[in-house]
Amino acid sequence: MRKFIALGLVYAIVQILIMTNLISGYFQATLVTIGINIILAVSLNLITGFTGQFSLGHAGFMSVGAYVCAIVTMRMPTIPGFILGVVLGAVAAAILGFLVGLPTLRLRGDYLAIATLGMSEIIRIIFLNLEITNGAAGLIGIPQFINWTWLFIFTVGIVLLLSNFVKSAHGRACISIREDEIAAESMGVDTIRYKVIAFIIGAACAGIAGAIYASYFYYLEPNLFGFLKSVDVLVIVVLGGLGSLSGSMLAAILLALISTYLQSFPEIRMVLYSLILIVIMIFRPQGLMGSREISLSVFSKLGNNKLWDRFKSQKGGH
Amino acid sequence: MPILSVERVTKAFGGLAAVSNVSLDIMEGELVGLIGPNGAGKTTLFNLLTGIYVPDSGTINLSIDNQRIPLNGLRPHSICQKGLARTFQNIRLFKDLTVLENVLIAMHQNIKYGLLTSFLHLPAYKREEEKLLQDSIELLRIFDLDKKKDELARNLPYGEQRHLEIIRALATNPKLLLLDEPAAGMNPAETANLMDIIGWIREKFNLTILLIEHDMTLVMNICERIYVLDYGMVIASGTPDEVRTNKRVIEAYLGEDINNA
Ligand SMILES: Nc1ncnc2c1ncn2[C@@H]1O[C@H](COP(=O)(O)OP(=O)(O)OP(=O)(O)O)[C@@H](O)[C@H]1O
Ligand SMILES: [Mg+2]
């Protein structure tokens, strides 16, 4: 319950700040980027951090969601059209996740990374050559539907669903694959099935992230979804901690803020950005959060615990 | 009808026949020992039975409730689901997970809720998780591990890691349990205690057990029948007394004092 009150507060405060123009349009774009990166990172974390499957294909899944949603909303520029676009984008990405997953999940480690990278590049080249995606010129004038409310719903919704999933028996099955695939199989876990499930879920979420991107930034071109985009997501996941959803969120926010603040120093931006990453990886090689999660009880511990206890005991005493 | 019947199974690695033309039958409820010198092919045989390796030739059949189930070609998880569970000689716990999580994962077949429930934590989630938790703690009690349920498996002392391996195998609800050197690294008192518990588990869970063990005293004492492997082949089988006096066994164990057992 406390979780939902906290979330409601975050939503309301940002909404008020936007309505009173205290959050600039520029910073709103940063918020959208943060939301998209959180979705991308938590979903890649499910594949790589929880299930232990190295993937460099997240940009590919994202691009499918983005293009499908854009193509739908450009023909149906209404809220139902937008919702349909997001759903179809997620489904298309999920189907792709399944198709890529089945044959390639027998591969391990580097091989899987190369296969997913190849998949992602093939998709990019297809989008470069299709008529409906307008090739290299890209799609312009995609209707904008994403506002803070939609962003919040999608981001928080996906994070909550995934965090429920990893705490379930099915999530544990995924984690057991990361820990020891042979032991997992020997204990009755169909490892191929759960790897495919992780890929499908991860791909669907990446598709939604793509749909959000398309529905906020007006413009899509295939080169937005190159190899470096997948690496960006992987950096967030590793930085936040493999196997920690809150770590992924923290890292997504941190990196977006850092790159926003470094925006004014374009020459040194990439250098500083890389330096910060290197420093963090030297001092926290397991990522900011390791595989732990932040829970809301941490915040109540941070607050004055004794005061809270006294308050409770007084309440109980009367 | 034997619960497990292995017929002329062979597995070679390159030129080396690790398991060669092995046939064996295990009857329901038996406690059978599998012995042999280092490198005889015992663990390889377990890996063949559990589907980790595929036999080059030969057949493996399980019979549960008078139903014959060919195991050839099945993947390890289906073999486990048919009722054949194992422990690993070189302990393969989920080391960075808790003791409890190790057992919960092994209860995988008992999950009675689907993906949708796990995303939304519908009421069935709480009910079923509670049940899995109770069942797991029940199993952990066998080796007094319930108190350590929240410790990481890697932090358990070696002997308790072996205990947890057995509990994890039991959690899959097996009919036939394969134990690969469960007493390795334990002192004589711990070993004796372990043997008592294995006997008790067998009664309580109605199990058939196939046990690899180097400790002769132990094997001779608790096993009803013994198979002896050497260079991948079965060189003898029978009751402990028959095996103890078998000439080929004595030769295979030359230098080791099998008759002291
Ligand atoms: N995956 C593999 N690849 C190549 N050779 C293998 C493999 N697994 C086992 N072997 C070889 O097969 C033979 C039998 O090994 P196995 O582990 O089955 O012996 P074991 O009877 O269990 O011995 P120990 O008592 O030492 O555990 C050994 O020579 C071993 O080196
Ligand atoms: Mg062995």
- Supply the ipTM of this predicted assembly: 0.92
What is the enclosing helix (H) or strand (E) of A30?
A: helix A25-44
In a domain, A318, yes or no: no
Percent of chain B with pLDDT over 90: 79
| Residue B256 banded pLDDT, cuts 50, 70, 90 | low
For residue range A140-179, what is the model confidence (pLDDT) as tens digits?
Answer: 989 999 899 999 999 999 999 999 999 999 999 999 999 9
DSSP classification of residue A141: -
| Residue A296 banded pLDDT, cuts 50, 70, 90 | low
Least confident of A33-42, B78-87, B237-246: B237-246
Cα-based angle B142, B170, B5 (whole degrees, multiple of 5): 135
Q: Whose CA is nearest to atom 5 of ligand 1?
A: B13
Instruction: Enter the pTM of the model.
Output: 0.90
B31: region left, alpha or beta (phi > 0 left; psi from -120 to 50 alpha): beta
Q: Which of B43, B161, B45 is nearest to B94 (CA)?
A: B161
For residue range A102-135, what is the model confidence (pLDDT) as tens digits?
Answer: 877 777 777 888 888 999 999 999 999 998 888 8
pLDDT of B152 strictly over 90: yes
Asked if residues B246 and B228 have their Cβ atoms less than 8 Å apart, the reply is yes
In a domain, A317, yes or no: no
| Pairing mode of beta strands B208-212, B31-35 | parallel
Sign of torsion over alpha carbons A210, A216, A222, A224: negative
The shortest C-alpha distance from B202 to chain A (Å) reads 19
Q: Do B105 and A189 touch (CB under 8 A)?
A: yes
pLDDT score, position A169: 96
pLDDT of A313 strictly over 60: no
Q: What is the mean pLDDT of residues A36-45?
A: 97
- CB B40 near ligand 1, within 6 Å: yes
Instruction: From B44, B87, B230, give the residue whose CB has the most ligand 1 atoms within 8 Å, as the site to mutate.
Output: B44
| A&B contacts, CB < 8 Å | 102
The domain tally of chain A equals 1
Sheet of B225-230, strand order: B84-86, B176-180, B208-212, B31-35, B225-230, B233-238
Percent of chain A with pLDDT over 70: 92
Q: What is the mean pLDDT of residues A59-86?
A: 95
Q: Which of B133, B97, B127, B134 is nearest to B112 (CA)?
A: B127
For B95, the 3-state DSSP assignment is coil
Name the more confident of A197 and B248: A197
Q: Which tokens hold the place of B119? A: 């995303």
pLDDT score, position A46: 96
Residues on chain B touching A170 (C-beta within 8 angstroms): 111, 115, 118
Q: What is the CATH number of the domain that holds A129?
A: 1.10.3470
Asked if residues A65 and A73 have their Cβ atoms less than 8 Å apart, the reply is no
What is the enclosing helix (H) or strand (E) of B57?
A: strand B57-64
In a domain, A77, yes or no: yes
Q: Which tokens hold the place of A264? A: 């004014």
A5 exposure class (CB count in 10 Å sphere: 0-12, 13-18, 19+) = exposed
pLDDT score, position B5: 95
Residue B236 phi, psi (nearest 5): -165, 155
Which residue reads 């544990």 in tokens? A172
| Residue A259 banded pLDDT, cuts 50, 70, 90 | confident
- CB B90 near ligand 1, within 6 Å: no
Percent of chain A with pLDDT over 90: 55
- Domain limits for position A86: 2-312
Q: Which of B47, B171, B154 is nearest to B110 (CA)?
A: B171
Asked if residues A183 and B94 have their Cβ atoms less than 8 Å apart, the reply is yes
By Cβ distance, the residue of A165, A176, A190 closest to B105 is A176
pLDDT score, position B261: 46
Q: What is the mean pLDDT of residues A81-86?
A: 96
Q: Which of B173, B187, B175 is nearest to B218 (CA)?
A: B187
Which residue reads 């901690």 in tokens? A241
pLDDT of B107 strictly over 50: yes
pLDDT score, position A303: 42
State the maximum Cα–Cα separation within chain A, in Å, rounded to a whole number.
Answer: 74
pLDDT score, position A318: 38
Q: Which tokens hold the place of A316? A: 């109980």
Q: Which tokens hold the place of A50? A: 């929880």
Q: What is the mean pLDDT of residues A200-206?
A: 97
In a domain, A202, yes or no: yes
The beta-strand segments (E) located in chain A are: none
For B176, the 3-state DSSP assignment is strand
pLDDT of B148 strictly over 80: yes
pLDDT of A275 strictly over 50: yes
C-alpha span between B22 and B229 (Å, rounded):
9
Count the neighbouring beta carbons within 10 Å of the beta carbon of residue B251: 10
C-alpha span between A53 and B39 (Å, rounded):
33
